[in-house]
């Protein structure tokens, strides 16, 4: 009896420990290690200078202007803490696992360079959380935050908007931001699209998870499959994001934090970690990262596909019995 109670107590303590966000300590430790080295924060430097090579929508430059007004240490700490908070909120909203995000190679990468993917993840999490609580205006705020990098988040944003309790109300904030950006920057969208098209030097990088460089526009044929196969919203969201990674001309490995923040299997974290072995086996290991969107797409669609196959098999049996 005493042994059984001890085992039960150990299980309860283990569950409590796994639920405690201890990996936030890892994230803050990395932040303290990276912060004194501005020479590492290359993306943040481009943001603060609003460098002409940036490929971001006009409203993202409002954030860049704010970062530029701060000192480099203050800008890095502000962006990094906001990214950590956004990722943690996304994990809580989507039912993900915190350690899969904050101990990942992808998270260390975005923190090292000072990138925006944590804010994008936070926006997606906010849109999901607010829609589930019938707060469409707040969901719209999440959508525009996630649209800081629309080349990565647009399909997921469209899915979240479609599931919104009020599609019209959820467009109030995104529409207002878009209108204001056009009043301040003119009709910037065509020029931005031209800049996005000039990424030949990026698509062939080993850290690109996309199959578009290998298959060209043929890869877009997976989208009817993604949209047609039924499934829960949680799995459909993972499928849409995996499909985006496969079909977007450039979806870098660090942006896998968007996927890791969702309720995905532990082995997704394992795939993201593989490039850490590059110093032993060479940079070719980065290409193994392309397995991440493929395997997650199959994982997300499999329950729905199995249901369709079973239904089809049952219909065939019933027809044969009638005959």
Tens digit of each residue's pLDDT (9 = 90 or more) over 70-95: 999 999 999 999 999 999 999 999 99
Residue 320 lies in a domain: no
Residue 4 has pLDDT above 80, yes or no: no
- Does this model's pTM top 0.95? My answer is no
Residue 71 in any domain: the answer is yes
Hey, how many other C-beta atoms are within 10 angstroms of the C-beta on 277?
A: 12
**Spatial separation of the C-alpha atoms in residues 316 and 110, rounded to whole Å:** 51
Token code pair at residue 79: 């962006």
- Please indicate, yes or no, if residue 146 is contained in any of the structural domains: yes
**In this structure, how many other beta carbons lie within 10 angstroms of the beta carbon of residue 36?**
9
Specify which residues 252 forms β-bridges with: 208
Cβ contacts of residue 62 below 8 Å, gap of 6+?
Answer: none
- Domain annotation covers residue 13: no
Q: Is residue 266 part of a domain?
A: yes
Has residue 293 been placed in a domain? Answer: yes
The rounded Cα 301 to chain-centroid distance in angstroms is 18
Domain membership flag for residue 6: no
Does residue 11 sit within a domain? no
pLDDT of residue 286: 83
> What are the tens digits of pLDDT across the range 187-224?
999 988 887 776 656 666 668 899 998 898 999 999 99
Position 297 scores a pLDDT of 96
By residue range, what is the domain housing residue 259? Answer: 23-313
Please provide the average confidence, as pLDDT, over all residues in the chain.
89
The count of structural domains within the chain is 1
Dump strand ranges (E) for 189-233.
Answer: none
What was the pLDDT predicted at 191? 86
């Amino acid at each position: 009896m005493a042994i059984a109670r001890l085992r039960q107590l150990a299980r309860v303590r283990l569950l409590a420990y796994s639920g405690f966000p201890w990996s936030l300590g890892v994230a803050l430790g990395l932040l303290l290690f990276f912060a004194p080295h501005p020479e590492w924060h290359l993306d943040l430097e481009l943001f603060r200078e609003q460098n002409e090579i940036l490929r971001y929508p006009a409203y993202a430059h409002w954030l860049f202007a704010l970062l530029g007004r701060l000192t480099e240490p203050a800008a890095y700490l502000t962006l990094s803490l906001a990214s950590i908070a956004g990722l943690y909120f996304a994990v809580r909203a989507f039912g993900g696992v915190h350690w899969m995000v904050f101990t990942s190679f992808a998270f260390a990468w975005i923190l090292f360079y000072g990138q925006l993917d944590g804010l994008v993840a936070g926006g997606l999490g906010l849109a999901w959380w607010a829609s589930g609580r019938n707060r469409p205006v707040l969901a719209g705020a999440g959508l525009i935050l996630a649209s800081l990098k629309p080349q990565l988040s647009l399909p997921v944003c469209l899915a979240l908007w479609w599931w919104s309790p009020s599609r019209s109300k959820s467009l109030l904030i995104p529409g207002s931001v878009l209108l204001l950006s056009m009043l301040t920057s003119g009709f910037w969208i065509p020029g931005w699209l031209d800049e996005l098209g000039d990424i030949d030097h990026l698509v062939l990088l080993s850290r690109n998870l996309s199959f578009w460089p290998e298959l060209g526009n043929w890869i877009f044929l997976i989208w009817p499959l993604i949209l047609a196969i039924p499934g829960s919203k949680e799995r459909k969201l993972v499928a849409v994001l995996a499909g985006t990674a496969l079909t977007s001309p450039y979806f870098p490995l660090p942006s896998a934090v968007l996927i890791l923040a969702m309720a995905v299997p532990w082995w997704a974290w394992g795939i993201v970690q593989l490039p850490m072995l590059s110093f032993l086996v060479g940079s070719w290991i980065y290409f193994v990262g392309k397995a991440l969107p493929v395997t997650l797409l199959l994982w997300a669609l499999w329950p729905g596909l199995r249901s369709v196959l079973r239904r089809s098999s049952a219909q065939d049996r019933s027809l044969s019995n009638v005959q």
